Structure 1
Amino acid sequence: MRVSMSLSLPRQPASVTRARHVLNTLLSLTDATEDSRGQLAVLISEACANAVMHADPGSTVDITIVIDDDACRIEIGNRGRTPLDAGLDAGLPAPLTVGGRGLPLIAALADTATFVVGPPGHVLLRITKHLGGVRAATPRRQPSPCGAPLDT
């Protein structure tokens, strides 16, 4: 199954929640595991929060979500600049109460995460995550010939 959606949200904190809701809705159409869903929720939340915080004033947060069979790709773009020290391989800051933990969390949870080179003045973060198999199937109950349900 292939599901995709692109949207532009205003550069405001409420857009983080909206993006997460859209992703959860798209994932509900798939057999993604609960672990994958939870990790993807953190990934899109952190990436959108960074875009909202660091984008140029008046710009939008542009999001593309593509779910293709067993993988999900999320792209978060905005007008701005990639920070010079925007390494996705950095460790978590100490103490954890300070900012700067978004990119390390993204790097730890994503299968791949990279800043994609684009036009000057634009930032695009591409994240991919495998969906990790299918959810456990709930046993279906089928009626027996005499009307009592049978487990299958």
Structure 2
Amino acid sequence: MSIWWSLQLRREAASVPLARRLLIGAMESAGVDADISHELSVALTEACANAVQHGGGRSQVFQVTASMLGDTCRIEVTDGGPGFPEGAAIPFTEPPELLPCGRGLRLIEALSDRVRIGNQPGSGGAVVTFDKTLKWREGAALLQAS
């Protein structure tokens, strides 16, 4: 069994906790370990906050897509803003105190197993994708249904 969902949210601060609560609810229902659920929800909060803060321009919305397939959770947050500067990559090489921004991306990197940042082809807009290996509570729903 797998879980997949996608949301289109208004680019406003009130959307961030909504996305976080939906992710936590899905992971809790599936039986994901509480520590992993917390780490992913913090990473999602950072990615959504970045979309709200930096994702302006053409669009007043941003999109969150999450999936749990097997032992992997993948989350993608896409916005309609100017996107990342040419050549931006994770891991960052600059010390965090020298970065004008990007601390949220460092937190996402620390809480995830793999992070990719980029821009939407042709239209711009940032795309942040991060994966994490899931751990399960005993008797987890997804493990029983597999």
**What is the percent sequence identity of the aligned residues?**
34
Q: For residue 38 of structure 1, what is the aligned residue in structure 2?
A: 38
* Aligned 1:47-126 pairs, distance under 5 A: 47-57=47-57, 58-84=59-85, 86-90=88-92, 93-94=96-97, 100-120=102-122, 121-126=124-129
Q: 1:123 to 1:51 in 2, by over 3 A?
A: same
Structure of greater relative contact order (alpha carbons < 8 Å, 6+ residues apart):
2
Q: Which amino acid in 1 is paired with 2:134?
A: L
Aligned equivalents of 2:101, 2:17: Cα separation in 1: 19
Whole-angstrom distance in 1 between the partners of 2:21 and 2:37: 11
**Is the contact made by 2:89 and 2:117 (CA closer than 8 Å) also made in structure 1?**
no
Q: 1:86 to 1:106 in 2, by over 3 A?
A: farther
Deviates more, 1:20-29 or 1:43-52: 20-29
TM-score, structure 1 as length reference: 0.78
1:100–1:11: structure 2 CA closer, same or farther, 3 Å change rule? same
Moved over 3 A (4+): none
Runs of 5+ in structure 1 lacking a partner? 138-152
User: How far did residue 86 of structure 1 move?
Assistant: 4.2
Q: Which residue of 1 aligns with 2:143?
A: none
Q: Report how many aligned residue pairs link the two structures.
A: 134
The aligned residue for residue 142 of structure 2 is none
Distance of 1:63 and 1:126 partners within structure 2: 10
Higher CA-based Rg: 1
Provide the alpha-carbon RMSD of the alignment. Answer: 2.1
The structure with the greater share of residues assigned to helix is 2
For residue 130 of structure 1, the aligned residue among 117, 133, 139 is 133
Alpha-carbon deviations, 1:7-43, whole Å to 9, x = none? 1000001111011011011112212111100100111
Check whether the contact 2:4–2:67 (CA below 8 A) recurs between aligned residues: yes
Q: Structure 2-normalised TM-score?
A: 0.81
